[in-house]
Amino acid sequence: MKRNIRILIAKLGLDTHDRGAKIIAQRCKEAGMEVIYLGLYMATLDDILNTAIQEDVDVIGLSSMTGLHLSYCPQMMEKLKGRNLNNVLVILGGIVPRQDIPALKQMGIDEVFPSGSSMEKVVQFITGNVKRA
């Protein structure tokens, strides 16, 4: 029996803008996914990584509204590789300039959803690309 897709949604750094993360969390729940949302102020990179491991997630959804994604994401991807978590799908959403997307994908982010992206596209991407161990 297959289990539901498990997704961890986390804010990067001290970002207090969580409306988009909450909307994605709700839409993923409606699509039958199990959602773990870290909330505000908890999301150090180690917190995200440790929670992902403890909760055995299939997807890490990062939200960045502060413009620090090019600082945080390379560190997150290195930490994931260091823990041999290559089977976890990593997506990023928020205020992400389109010119940053190629660099983010090159560092290993599986998909980027800038502000205004369709919730359905996010759900479709997750369900179509989740990497089951």
CATH class of 6-128: alpha beta
Distance CA 55, CA 102 (A): 29
Question: What is the per-residue pLDDT across 11-66, written as a single tens digit (0 to 9) for each?
Answer: 876 666 677 788 889 999 999 999 999 877 656 888 889 999 999 999 999 988 77
What are the φ/ψ torsions at residue 2 (nearest 5 degrees)? -80, 140
Other beta carbons within 10 angstroms of residue 1's beta carbon come to 2
Question: What is the per-residue pLDDT across 73-86, written as a single tens digit (0 to 9) for each?
Answer: 899 899 989 888 88
Strand segments, DSSP code E, in 1-116 are 6-11, 34-37, 59-64, 89-94, 111-114
Distance, C-alpha 28 to centroid of its chain: 12
Indicate if the pLDDT at residue 105 is higher than 90.
yes
Domain boundaries along the sequence of the chain: 6-128
Distance CA 14, CA 1 (A): 39
